[in-house]
Amino acid sequence: MIDLHCHILPGIDDGAADVSVSLAMARASVDDGVSVVACTPHILPGLYHNTGPQIRQAVKDLQDVLDDENIPLRLVTGADVHIVPDFVDGLRSGRLLSLADTRYVLVEPPHHVAPLRLEDLFFNLLVAGYVPILTHPERLTWINERYASIKRLVRAGVWMQITAGSLVGHFGRNAKYWAERMLGEGCVHILATDAHDTKRRPPNLGRGRELAAKLVGDEEAEHLVVTRPKGGLSNAAPSDLPTPQVARTVAENADAETGTHQSHAAARGGLSSRLRRIFG
Ligand SMILES: [Fe+2]
């Protein structure tokens, strides 16, 4: 598996506090079945003043340590880039980083306030040739009111990354609900850990993949943690990568409206009944 969102670099944000934590996170990732991790520290003016050149050096330094320790994990460059006004200029100048210098870039909106020109920012990135990956929409407190915006962004070509821990329930019921709903509706492209340490926010991609598979099947779960992340890191065009699948339960419920699969849909509980309530 490939983890495209991980705060594994030591001492440069609220992720790994020092190299010993980075090493523990790397070992936990390898044990979990991860072979490539994108190092994605926060870039947030006023709080985390990380820049492209600093992150590149930190990735190189940590890779040297992993190699010395014989930990079979490949690191690539990246950043968890908070919304800034001159986003495209920042990427072009190298001050901000995309994932492994590809067209794919993690974009983190503010958690508690929906930005006024949210859609404009993402459209500007798309027009400039980037594929923005909106990080953990399921954990944004404003998703309940702005889900229509999120869906418009997906239709426009923005990718969505949800957090493995949200499916586990580590971020509460609301985040779990939206993670499951977005997966079920075929609105999620990437599953990642957004790990910060080994205890409170650990690397748990394998567990997330298992839970995703229960909702969308093994094949789509593999696309979430292998196919699309791998395609992204090789800078493949999104059109050459698989489109997220709508969960069978959701498709059946759509059929049920025409009366063809009502008995199957009615026979299912749990997620299915929640989705039935959503789709009314
Ligand atoms: Fe993050």
pLDDT (tens digit per residue) in 172-200: 999 999 999 999 999 999 999 999 999 99
Which strands sit side by side in the sheet containing 80-82, from one edge to the other?
42-43, 80-82, 104-108, 131-135, 159-163, 190-192
Q: What pLDDT shows up at residue 89?
A: 96
Looking at the fold, whether 253 and 213 belong to one and the same domain comes out as no
Q: pLDDT band at residue 266, thresholds of 50, 70 and 90?
A: very low
Looking at the fold, whether 210 and 103 belong to one and the same domain comes out as yes
Q: How far is the CA of 185 from the centre of ligand 1 (A)?
A: 24
* Mean pLDDT of the region 120-142: 96
Domain count, the chain: 2
Mean pLDDT of the chain: 90
The pTM (predicted TM-score) of the whole model is: 0.89
Looking at the fold, whether 175 and 68 belong to one and the same domain comes out as yes
Q: How far is the CA of 79 from the centre of ligand 1 (A)?
A: 8
Residue of 253 and 101 predicted with greater confidence:
101
Which residue segment(s) compose the domain that 184 sits in?
A: 2-238
Q: How far is the CA of 83 from the centre of ligand 1 (A)?
A: 13
Tokens of 175: 């985040």
Residues around ion ligand 1, judged by CB within 5 A, are 80, 194
Looking at the fold, whether 217 and 108 belong to one and the same domain comes out as yes
Q: How far is the CA of 80 from the centre of ligand 1 (A)?
A: 6
Q: CA 223 to CA 175: how far, in whole Å?
A: 21
Looking at the fold, whether 270 and 136 belong to one and the same domain comes out as no
Q: How far is the CA of 161 from the centre of ligand 1 (A)?
A: 11
Looking at the fold, whether 206 and 171 belong to one and the same domain comes out as yes
Looking at the fold, whether 7 and 39 belong to one and the same domain comes out as yes
Looking at the fold, whether 232 and 137 belong to one and the same domain comes out as yes
Looking at the fold, whether 34 and 143 belong to one and the same domain comes out as yes
Q: How far is the CA of 64 from the centre of ligand 1 (A)?
A: 23
Q: What pLDDT shows up at residue 182?
A: 97
pLDDT at 70 over 70: yes
CATH number at residue 196: 3.20.20.140
Looking at the fold, whether 172 and 280 belong to one and the same domain comes out as no
Q: What pLDDT shows up at residue 114?
A: 85
Q: What pLDDT shows up at residue 248?
A: 66
